[in-house]
A and B are shown apart, each in its own frame.
Chain A
Amino acid sequence: MTVAQKTDQNTLVEALINIAGEQDVVTGRVAMYAYGYDATLLFGVPRAVVFPESTQEVVDIVNYCRSTGVNIVPRGAGTNESGGTIPVDNCIIMNCCRMKKILEVDLDNYVAIIEPGVVNYDIQEMLAKYGYYYPPDPASYKASTMGGNVGECSGGPKCFKYGVTRDYIYGMEFVTSDGKVRWVGGRDYCSEPFYDITRMMCGSEGTLGYMTKFAIRIEPIPAAKRTMLAFYNEPVDAAQSVADIVAAGIVPTTLEMMDNLIINTAEDATGAGLPRDAGAMLIIEVDGPAYGDLDDQVKTITEVVKKANPKQFKIATTAAEVDACWLARRVAIGSVAHRAPSYSMQDITVPRSEFPQAVAGIVQTSKDYDLDIGILAHAGDGNFHPLVLFDQRNAEQSERVHKAEAALVKLALDLGGTMSGEHGVGLLKKPLLPNEYAPVTIDAFRKIKRAFDPINRMNPTKIFDL
């Protein structure tokens, strides 16, 4: 792709203002700096930030950018962990934050129509009044927009039972780089136009088109829930409990694990009284109808956990106790800041049975590269968040971190896993993509990209190069 000549900055800004209005176009050095980062350590500078407020504005902006060779990088709240929203060369940021209407909520038919700027939490808040919810809730759900959730196909702690974002999107409207608008899917599972375009858009990280509306599936909140908390001597013991719970035919909503390092940083942050000498902590949550089956499941789980010789096992009986169980998990990621100013977070995923090997491998990586690595995992999914602690200002250490990142990805792939369970590839893991896929598979990705965006205008250079 070549762009002969960059459009003049004033012309660009004027055109964007004509389309979106003065309020919705931001330029200036300070503001551009603020749009240069996301939750990773990467950085870039956009030429302008525009906040379209309607599909028509999106179309007009896309048409303008196509004719002038300006790239479009989509962005929601910028909480992604893969560099998917980092500005690229000669680009504007198209931010969905101001398209935040909830257009329709149809409780009886389990569907809501929303715009991409709606924050996940706002939906939950609104639905909770009626006893409904939208199951996927990534850790960043209080901040992240639905546009971002769908773009990255966000996971979260409930995936084991309830699935990920992809499973809850019935349909969507999106604009491709040719300026054309398409509505695909409907308000149910049966309305995709032959190819399941909605599924392809989910997790495409904005590389195929800019999404402007979603039909999402909403559900009544399960009648009952039980939360348990177990502390173990070793992560392997926790892994044993996970395997045994699943083998007992129970599908918990949540199986969250934290290792000793994270338990300690979480304790630093909260002072909640977690046992600092525990090797692992596991949050177990089951839900379902309120006819007493959950109590039986809790009994089964209690026995299973006891077998693994836990240090402590608690069954939460009040809402406050449930909150207490979750407190440590909620602060876990940020709490490592109490130990080191920077962290690198991966989302490597392995088959559940390889859980102990993965833990051992992460511990080994920590030794090999002389780095502190904390482990946080959605144990039911085999999805790990190894948190590598370091100081970005230390160049030598940062170099080691990059090597450790590559080693962790290799570890996951060697164990038959994947390098990204829920964060996406973006720029951060793009160089590692060939480790996971043969050229023919990456080529198949290119075919899809060409079918949607042959001129490579939408979030170019992300995931793979065309």
Chain B
Amino acid sequence: MSQIVEQLKSLLGADNVITKDMTKYLRGGEQPAAVACPGTGEEVAALVKAAADAGVKVNVGGAVVDTTGLSGGIAVVMKRMNKILEIDRNNLTCWVQPGMPHKEFCDALLKEGLYFPPEPYAVSTSSVAGCIGIGDPDSKAFKYMPPRTYIIAYEMVLPTGEPMKIGSKCIKCVSGLDLIHFIAGTRATLGIFTKILVKLQPAPVCRSIVLADLPNITTAAKAFLSIQKRRLFVSRENAITNKLGQHIWSGAKGAVAFVDIEEFPKANVEYAKIVEAELKIAGATATKIISDEKEYASAELGWLKAREAVNLTDKKVRFTVGASNVVKGLDAAKGVVGALEDGEFALIEAQLGKVTVASANPEADAVKLNKAAMPLGGNVSGLLGSKLRCDEYSDQAMFDNITQLLHNIRKEFDPKGILAPGIQF
């Protein structure tokens, strides 16, 4: 083991290979042999090559690395590869290094009048590569599409240590198989990003947030349904129960609705009025329309903090229902996890039909919630959802087929199984 550490030191420089006081870079109980902080794509390639030759496991993170399965392995932290390399205003693209903190990235672009819509997964630690790697459809995905839409080219180091690049500044490309968008959500199982080209949008001309303090989260869901029935689609249509709602509106007495509107000026004003009215009709005890830039930023940051808290806990179940069935979805959740207002949190991203509830017993609750969600046009998210859906149809064979395919792909790319050991399917 020490041999690989020495090798890394000679490759990256001793300063960039940390073996003591590693905790601040790690999440999880297991202990890697070293934290390595490469500074260039070549260093990443050399590092992975060395690890592959030695059969040592590797995982990667922007600021923090998950250590599941990484005992004696290498935690690669991308903190040194954290710069914007090129902003191309004419093409609305940006080359960025993988370790660039996500929020910082968005803010830097906004200053330039440019916009990267996906939200950080965890605002305090997430990197741009993490956003793509996790590929989680954030609460703006209904309007702006999920993160995968925004990656149009990248360079990565394959699990064999070979560097690979694909894509261009063109927003359309069907040349060859679509490894460009497929890479979103692969969580570093197929390679480690060294450079990412994202597609941007012109910054919204006008932004406002409508906040509402509501008796409970179900009333918010009802208001959102009325808004959708008016064919009014916004950037974010979220609501969260009181405790985490405090991040967004401190002092709120009930659940907090957070509606983000990014339209051209006239529509923006009209939308905000309609949204506020619908929230009041649903029973909001107080509402606020925020248009001031600073206030907007702080309310948004509040929402992102709440989102981080939800994303980082394992004690939750996330499922979807049809966008028009969120109220029913919440009712179903109540039946499984108890009164939502009493729990740690309950969160809805209404346009996406996404519901997240705190659960002391996520595995068992997921089964029940999936059963409830399926007739409502949804299911538990991700691989677990696939499994539960197959179970529901007594179709073990289907699930075996799916996982076999996932294994096939991973094995083709990573025959030695060294990358992202925490990911098992």
Contacts and interface: CB of A to CB of B under 8 A. Distances in A.
Let me know if chains A and B touch directly in the complex, using CB atoms closer than 8 Å.
yes
Contact of A451 (B146, B179, B409): B409
A440 B163 contact: yes
A241 B4 CA distance: 57
A226 B381 CA distance: 39
B145 A167 contact: yes
A292 B93 CA distance: 30
A229 interface: no
Contact of B173 (A249, A288, A418, A444): A418
A250 B202 contact: yes
A188 B326 CA distance: 13
A411 to B, nearest CB: 13
A413 to B, nearest CB: 9
A445 B412 CA distance: 10
B168 A188 contact: no
B181 A249 contact: no
Given A192-B185, A194-B382, A166 B178 contact: yes
A293 B262 CA distance: 13
B409 A220 contact: no
Contacts of B93: 351
With a 10 A CB-CB cut-off, give which of A155, A176, A208, A447 has the most chain B CB atoms. Answer: A447
With a 10 A CB-CB cut-off, give which of A297, A349, A436, A450 has the most chain B CB atoms. Answer: A349
A196 B185 contact: yes
Contacts of B398: 181-183
Interface size class of B (residues with CB under 8 A): 35 or more
Contact of B181 (A159, A199, A353, A449): A199
B175 interface: yes
Contacts of A159: 171-172
Contacts of A383: 170, 172
A190 B205 contact: no
A431 interface: no
Contact of B176 (A243, A293, A433): A433
Interface string B188-214: 000000000000011101000000000
Interface residues of A, number: 92
Interface in A140-196: 152-153, 155, 159-160, 163-164, 166-167, 176, 180-184, 186-196
Contacts of B145: 163, 167, 189
Nearest to B407: A451
Nearest to B137: A189
A194 B173 contact: no
Contacts of B382: 190-194
A378 B174 CA distance: 15
Interface string A341-381: 00000000111110000000000000000000000001001
A436 B425 CA distance: 34
A225 B377 CA distance: 32
Interface of B: 88-93, 113, 135, 137, 141, 145-146, 148-149, 158, 162-166, 168-179, 181-182, 184-187, 201-203, 205, 228, 231-232, 263-267, 269-271, 318, 320, 322-325, 352-354, 377-379, 381-383, 385-386, 389, 397-398, 401-403, 405-406, 408-409, 411-413, 423, 425
Pairs of residues from A and B, 8 with the lowest C-beta to C-beta distance, nearest first: A109-B322, A293-B264, A451-B408, A447-B412, A108-B324, A353-B90, A351-B169, A193-B386
18 contacts: A106-B322, A188-B320, A188-B353, A189-B146, A190-B137, A190-B318, A193-B403, A196-B182, A247-B89, A289-B232, A289-B263, A292-B266, A349-B172, A351-B88, A420-B175, A421-B172, A422-B172, A451-B412
